[in-house]
Structure 1
Amino acid sequence: MSRIIPCPHCGQMNRHADGREAAKARCASCKAPLFDGKPVTLTAENFDRQVKSPDLPVLVDFWASWCGPCKAMAPVFERTAAAYADRLRFAKVDTDAEQALAARYQIRSIPTLVLLRGGQEVARVSGALPEGELRRWIAAHGIA
């Protein structure tokens, strides 16, 4: 069995066979790693392509550069992204630069984390979370 995974760099959809080592998976188009463990920057142009894969859930951090709690959450988000590299795509949306995306998801406070599966919102939480709490929240939504 295989999964369809969007490349975090160019957006090309790639087939990744289950059981194949994720660390070696590369995009067929741009040859970049499919699972590099780093959050993807999302914009209006690449958002839907990255979040609509039915095979890889996406955790989106809606943030802004002037937000103190967002800055405090950033290293936690990055560390956790590395731990879940092939099971959950981590992504960031700058709400100042991408106001239409923030409005589409009715972001009222930042940071706000939105968990998406197949492009559909599954859960959300607002406020900066410590790493342990973030991991528990992710696990509570079926991602081991």
Structure 2
Amino acid sequence: MKQTFLVLFVLLVSYNAIAQIDTTSFPKERNEIRELMRNRKPDIQIDCKDFIAVGAKGDISFSHEAWQGVQSKEKIVFKSVRPVPGNEFIRIYDGNMAVVNFLINVQLEVDGRAVNMKVRRLEVFHKTISGWCRVAGQGTEIDEKLFPVKAN
């Protein structure tokens, strides 16, 4: 009985470990998300109408326009956003939902002052009839003095 339980436990743990690092299922959808993220342009909308974002101060915006309004109010101007290679993780669920975690180098201006930082982003995408759109996003600044970013 103990051996049977042990074998079942090992199989269950192995299955969960494999599911955590699934990089092969839904290859078409995975590539669509990768292309959407890598080819973002400021003038092209990627957010769904029901987009929700959590800002750096913990503030919540319930639309893309509200999110931009917060940035404008805080006098934030994005100068450059570059992904850090090897720090992008895409999980696709049922072919129509994607959860993406990635690390970016951000150069921005806050109230006229230059700021450089690394930000870990978590974004959720939904596939509609017209294509993929982002339904949620949140970023966390990485304090590299406390937690240096290591290459994966």
Both proteins in one fold, TM over 0.5: no
- TM-score, length of structure 1 as denominator length: 0.31
Query: Which structure would you say has the larger RCO, counting Cα contacts within 8 Å and 6 or more residues apart?
Result: 1
**Alignment TM-score, normalising by the size of structure 2:** 0.30
Larger radius of gyration: 2
